Structure 1
Amino acid sequence: MTRVTISLVAAAGLVAVTACAPARGDWVYQWREATPQCRDHPDAPVIGRAAGMVGFEPTRSASFVGCFPSMDACYAWLGPLSGRFGGRIFITRCDPRT
């Protein structure tokens, strides 16, 4: 009986951790991985920002920041991304980096 109880407790803990961790199949995770990070491109002249609500049950927020070589590259990243938000969009913009 003790062995079964320990197994159930361990399984419940694994389910809880899995529910909190970002899934690699999740589009938010994939988009973050594909976004050019500013720390990797410190001289990029354009910064793009997007934030909004994703999902429906439960709803959560997601935000992205990337640095790009041109406004065109930023808008090419931003266009498809802004269509992925399933609710309210807080910000979608590309600006010269100061």
Structure 2
Amino acid sequence: TWSMLSNKYFSTMVRIQTERGHEVAIGGPYKYIRHPGYVGFIVMVFATPLSLGTLYALLMSGITTILLIIRTSLEDKTLKNELDGYLEYSNKVKYKLIPFIW
């Protein structure tokens, strides 16, 4: 995805990759929102049950989205505390997932 191409430190785990000289990603979709990878995942999580027409899976999509929102907040807290420059970045790029909303 675009976020993976724009962030060479993109990972499924929340950790500062000091061995790789971890820096804040500011290009691509990161210019507009802080967690574009989660946005792509949420779209996929909702698109699948909608295309299959299953309400049970749609319910699970809602639960998954809630958990991802919680993870986003926890990840922001970790990055602000541990990654140099992230606090300034988060002050500049205000939105976590949806531009002009949240």
Q: Same fold (TM over 0.5)?
A: no
**Structure (1/2) with the larger strand percentage:** 1
TM-score (norm 1): 0.29
Q: Which has the higher helix share?
A: 2
Larger of the two Rg values belongs to structure: 1
Query: Which one scores higher on RCO, CA 8 angstroms, separation ≥ 6?
Result: 2
